[in-house]
Amino acid sequence: MPATYKEIAEYLVKAEIEKYETPRVTATLKNDLTVEEGYLVQEEIVKIKQAEGRKIIGPKMGLTSRAKMTQMNVDEPIYGYVFDYMLIEDGGTVHLRDLIHPKVEAEIAFVIGKDIEGPGITGAQVLAATEYVVPALEIIDSRYENFNFTLPDVVADNASTSRVVLGNSLKKPTALDLDLVGVTMSINGEIKELGAGAAVLGHPANSIAMLANMLSKKGEKIREGDVILSGGITGAVMLAEGDQVIGKFDGFQDVTFKVE
Ligand code: 0L1
Ligand code: MG
């Protein structure tokens, strides 16, 4: 009997909660998993989390830059969901004992002021519906052994979502050109990655527009109050004990955390 989507979701949530890396779904439970089915597994993960009382902070986009697509050997953006227990305060601590093999990447987050319902949404419409933009550091933690996965696998695994550090400085999206925002990500005083907002589909708002259009295929929409990561501006860097991570975003205050 092939595994159900719920069973695959339980397989992945168990790896997250018990903090071990596991072989990819397409090498174990379901060799022919499609991207569409990956999203059905993701929906089961959302149901499991909500049944545990976890709240959705917002959807997120992933694999939105050419650098990330090349790094992970995939060729299209994906989405997942960020939950309340994943938030770490700016200046706070990420504990390795809670995670498997985390990496960090720098992103711009959008705080949504009005519902955005696709299809046909543009970046300009996203900017008009956005209350604030915020710098963020996302900690991704694929549940798969050696980050070895296909596109359906990573979709099923809630797009590797694990922790998020949101910055404390909010800006109106019209206050700056998000595509031109320069970003450096340093660990222990050394710049490890750098980029500009344009790395994310030309402009981070385009990524949120793509999300609205992807969600509309399922009869879903972006909601007022959602806080949405638009995708990595930088590549992802592996974290180690003792790391001090600083994201510098032009026009914003720094975002930081340490690793213990
Ligand atoms: O946030 C993201 O870009 C999702 C990344 C998924 C792949 C990975 O684990 O690197
Ligand atoms: Mg990301």
pTM of structure: 0.96
165-195 pLDDT tens trace = 999 999 999 999 999 999 999 999 999 999 9
Domain carrying residue 129 = 5-259
Report pLDDT digits (tens) over 219-260. 999 999 999 999 999 999 999 999 999 999 999 999 999 999
Number of domains in the chain: 1
Residue 147 alpha carbon, nearest atom of ligand 1: 9
Please name the amino acid found at residue 145. Answer: E
Looking at ligand 1, which residue's alpha carbon is closest to its atom 1?
62
Query: Cα separation of 46 and 16, whole Å?
Result: 13
- Whole-angstrom distance, CA of residue 107 vs CA of residue 44: 26
Q: Which tokens is 86 given?
A: 């994943």
As for the ipTM of the complex, it is: 0.95
pLDDT at 40: 98
pLDDT for res 61: 98
CATH number, domain of 71, equals: 3.90.850.10
Q: Which residues make up the environment of ion ligand 2, defined by Cβ < 5 Å? A: 62, 138, 232
Task: Specify the pLDDT at position 86.
Answer: 98
pLDDT band, very low/low/confident/very high, at 1 (cuts 50, 70, 90): confident
| C-alpha–C-alpha distance, residues 203 and 186, integer Å | 23
* Cβ atoms 78, 43 nearer than 8 A: no
